[in-house]
Amino acid sequence: MKKRNELLQLRVNPILCDGFGHCAELAPDLVILDEWGYPIFPDSPFSPGEKERIRSAHLAIRGCPRQALVLERLSVDTK
């Protein structure tokens, strides 16, 4: 029987993002920059139980000068 699991996913709006990388300074455990300075999120999605990552995600969201980051809730099926 399948169960539904909730995960959190940090996402960037590439149209708003200026690529200066403040988010990577604010949340180095969640955000790295690509070769052009745009954020990527190698360890996302993550569990809502990971309080430190949630804290980091909110720091990055609040610190983004372009309001380009959002933390989305995903609902995924697991076995």
Contacts with ligand SF4 by CB under 6 A lie at 12, 17-23, 39, 64-66, 68-69
- Least CB distance to ligand SF4 at residue 38 (A): 6
Name the residue nearer to ligand SF4 (CB basis): 58 or 66.
66
Q: Where are the alpha helices (DSSP H) in the chain?
A: 22-26, 51-63
Assess contact for 27 and 46: CB atoms under 8 A: no
Q: Which amino acid is at 5?
A: N
Name the residue nearer to ligand SF4 (CB basis): 62 or 73.
62
- Least CB distance to ligand SF4 at residue 44 (A): 13
